């Protein structure tokens, strides 16, 4: 007998888990150890968008020394199929129980097939291999067929050199020694699995931050020895999330990029944190519109502070126009700018008297109007639909300020009070016990957030604790400590990587536990 092949078909599951690529990846990463197998490759993950969405899903494969483990999920159909093929016996019931618990499976079909009935090779003993197979494996290692990396066992195995997340990652992925190999002198290649320790199970959503592998400080604040720099290995199948997690163990700006994603992920997983996205540097004209729309729709930000220039670029693109590179800068067509002006005039002139009494009314109303009149979706539409309030620090001096004055001269009933806008932001910022800030550049958005926090006491609001912040395009962090990360890299480079990684780690729409309130005596927008 070569070995057992367990076939599992499951249904009546938690379909959110079936569609969670990172969770499926983590389950596959932990499965071999759970059933006594030896992982040597993967998980290799693939997402397929079928012509019929019902047949879209996630596929994953783990290569184990004993054979392989594969899964295919169909979230829309509430179904998955799985194969566990091994050249040695394993605890079938444990393998079934692990998957049943992982996906909350209520109905399961399983079949056990004995493979290799005509196989005449050496049989496996109690510890997984005969002496002949061990010798063959050592020959492959000596020949360089298996990648190896020399490490200092005194350092790599030292408890003082690891955070808890490090230890958890090590338990899942290595170091794994071939039988007969010298301890501490070989690590299997790393395959870009995204460690997500503490993100699932009882610790899901906990606001106590779990240190990344790049950290030299525990959550309790106890100092540890400096973190080890790990060499990056090329992995053609790595996810963006997995790559950035690996970068957090390197140095320089790459390390900060990985840390920045970890900080934003921690914010997104905490329902009692308000996330403010502060855009002091305009980025929409540089191609970030759809990316920001995704972030708003998935509530990776609970409120957005953007310049008048950025929102004008958003309306310009929503109306079907395209920005172009003009030398080293970005420019808009005169026709498109005129179309923005005429669209804004049409919206303001058509508004009901008294319907625009605050900036929140203005942006919410404009977003709803654009949803009916613009061919593309922009940040304004996404924010209006998701109940994410928008704030503009330079409304009076920007293009929209001019258009508002022109509309008032024509008799449009528009009354805006800048002080009320600041009060509304203060209420929104203080809507939850904790605050996180993702900022792009330095400038007016920072000042507006600082003012909102300062006036909290006058509103009898408890000022939230700024737990962590991410600063892009600047070397200055908002606060002290490891989880206030400043990334000097341009936001147009960092944002696509971070939002993509975040989408892989926190799929679905995030909703805060406490509603965000934009103005006094108003129902929650969300």
Please check whether residue 347 is in contact with residue 374, taking contact to mean a CB–CB distance below 8 angstroms: no
pLDDT in tens, 270-286: 888 999 999 999 999 99
The overall pTM is greater than 0.75: no
d(CA 514, CA 524): 9
- Residues 6+ away with beta carbon under 8 Å from 460: none
d(CA 166, CA 246): 12
Bridge partners (DSSP) of residue 68 are: 63, 85
Q: What is the pLDDT of residue 520?
A: 36
Q: What is the pLDDT of residue 248?
A: 85
d(CA 451, CA 464): 13
**Tokens coding 426:** 């203060």
365 or 147: which leads in pLDDT: 365
**What are the helix (H) ranges across 54-180?**
92-103, 131-142, 153-156, 164-173
Q: Does the 271-505 domain belong in CATH 3.40.910.10?
A: yes
Q: What is the pLDDT of residue 142?
A: 54
pLDDT in tens, 424-454: 888 888 888 899 999 999 888 888 888 888 8
> Which of 31-35, 131-135, 165-169, 467-471 shows the lowest mean pLDDT across its residues?
165-169
Mean pLDDT across 454-476? 85
**What is the bridge-based pairing of β-strands 329-331 and 324-326?**
antiparallel
Please check whether residue 267 is in contact with residue 207, taking contact to mean a CB–CB distance below 8 angstroms: no
Smallest Cα–Cα separation from 387: which of 515, 283, 500, 273? 515
Instruction: Give phi and psi for 325, each to the nearest 5.
Output: -75, 125
Domains 3-115 and 271-505 share a fold: no
The kind and range of the H/E element at 158 are none
d(CA 5, CA 82): 10
- Write the CA distances from 494 to 22, 262, 331, 470, 472, integer angstroms: 21, 13, 22, 11, 7
518 or 260: which leads in pLDDT: 260
**Rounded (to 5) percent helix, strand, coil in the chain:** 40, 20, 45
pLDDT in tens, 112-149: 777 765 555 544 444 344 455 445 445 544 554 433 33
DSSP 8-state secondary structure symbol assigned to residue 331: E
Instruction: Give phi and psi for 43, each to the nearest 5.
Output: -65, 140
Mean pLDDT of the chain: 75
pLDDT band at 236 (very low <50, low <70, confident <90, very high): low
pLDDT band at 221 (very low <50, low <70, confident <90, very high): very low
Given a cut of 70, whether residue 75 has pLDDT beyond it is yes
Smallest Cα–Cα separation from 468: which of 279, 283, 198, 210? 210
DSSP 8-state secondary structure symbol assigned to residue 237: T
CATH of domain 3-115: 3.60.90.10
207 or 44: which leads in pLDDT: 44
- Write the CA distances from 400 to 286, 341, 356, 477, integer angstroms: 20, 9, 14, 31
Given a cut of 70, whether residue 18 has pLDDT beyond it is yes
Domain coordinates in residue numbering, the chain: 3-115, 146-250, 271-505
d(CA 305, CA 277): 6
Smallest Cα–Cα separation from 394: which of 359, 355, 354? 359
**Tokens coding 80:** 């998955």
Calculate ∠ Cα 350-352-354, nearest 5°. 135
Residue 144 CB burial class (10 angstroms; 0-12, 13-18, ≥19):
exposed
Q: Above pLDDT 70, what percent of the chain?
A: 73
d(CA 242, CA 360): 38
Mean pLDDT across 219-230? 57
Residue 176 CB burial class (10 angstroms; 0-12, 13-18, ≥19):
middle
So which residues are the catalytic ones?
67, 72, 87
Query: What's the 3-state SS for 172-220?
Result: HHCCCCCCCCCCCCCCCCCCCCCCCCCCCHHHCCCCCCCCCCCCCECCC
d(CA 383, CA 388): 5
- Write the CA distances from 423 to 380, 429, 443, 519, 522, integer angstroms: 21, 10, 20, 7, 13
Given a cut of 90, whether residue 295 has pLDDT beyond it is yes
């Amino acid at each position: 007998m070569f070995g057992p092949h367990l076939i599992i078909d499951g249904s009546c599951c938690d379909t959110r888990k079936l569609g969670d690529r990172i969770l499926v990846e983590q389950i596959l990463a932990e499965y071999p150890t759970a059933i006594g197998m030896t992982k040597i490759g993967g998980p290799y993950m693939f997402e397929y968008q079928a012509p019929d969405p019902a047949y879209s899903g996630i596929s994953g494969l783990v290569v184990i020394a004993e054979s392989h483990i594969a899964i295919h999920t169909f979230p829309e159909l509430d179904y998955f199929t799985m194969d566990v093929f091994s050249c040695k016996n394993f605890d079938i019931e444990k393998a079934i129980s692990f998957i049943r618990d992982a996906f909350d499976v209520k109905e399961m079909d399983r079949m056990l097939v004995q493979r290799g009935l005509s196989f005449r090779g050496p049989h496996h003993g109690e510890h997984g291999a005969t002496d002949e197979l061990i010798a063959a494996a050592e020959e492959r290692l000596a020949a360089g067929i298996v990648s190896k990396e020399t490490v200092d066992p005194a350092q790599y195995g030292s408890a003082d050199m690891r955070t808890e997340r490090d230890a958890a990652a090590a338990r899942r992925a290595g170091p794994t020694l071939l039988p007969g190999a010298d301890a501490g002198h070989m690590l299997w290649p790393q395959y870009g699995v995204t460690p997500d320790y503490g993100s699932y199970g009882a610790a899901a959503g906990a606001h106590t931050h779990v240190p990344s592998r790049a950290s030299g400080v525990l959550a309790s604040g106890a100092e540890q020895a400096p973190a080890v720099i790990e060499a990056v290995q090329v992995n053609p199948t790595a996810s963006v999330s997995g790559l950035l997690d690996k970068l957090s163990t390197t140095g320089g700006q790459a390390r900060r990029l990985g840390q920045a994603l970890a900080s934003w992920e921690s914010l997104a997983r905490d329902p009692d944190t308000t996330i403010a996205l502060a855009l002091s540097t305009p980025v929409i004209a540089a191609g970030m519109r759809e990316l920001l729309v995704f972030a708003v729709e998935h509530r990776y930000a609970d409120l957005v502070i953007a310049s008048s220039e950025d929102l004008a670029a958003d309306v310009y693109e929503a109306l079907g126009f395209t920005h172009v590179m003009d030398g080293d800068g970005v420019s808009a067509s005169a026709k498109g700018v005129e179309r923005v002006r005429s669209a804004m005039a049409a919206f303001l002139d058509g508004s009901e008297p008294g319907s625009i009494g605050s900036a929140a009314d203005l942006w919410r109303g404009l977003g709803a109007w654009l949803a009916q009149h613009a061919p593309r979706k922009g940040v304004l539409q996404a924010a209006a639909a998701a109940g994410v309030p928008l704030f503009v620090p330079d409304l009076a001096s920007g293009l929209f300020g001019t258009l508002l004055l022109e509309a008032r001269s024509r008799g449009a009933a528009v009354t805006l009070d800048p002080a009320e806008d600041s009060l509304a932001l203060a209420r929104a910022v203080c809507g939850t016990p904790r605050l996180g800030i993702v900022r792009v550049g330095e400038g007016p958005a920072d000042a507006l957030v600082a003012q909102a926090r300062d006036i909290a006491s006058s509103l009898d609001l408890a000022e939230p604790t700024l737990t962590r912040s991410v600063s892009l395009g600047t070397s200055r962090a908002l606060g002290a400590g490891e989880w206030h990360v400043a990334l000097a890299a341009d936001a147009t480079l960092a944002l696509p990587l971070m939002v993509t990684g975040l989408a892989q780690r926190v799929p679905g729409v995030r909703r805060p536990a406490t509603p965000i309130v934009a103005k006094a005596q108003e129902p929650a927008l969300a």
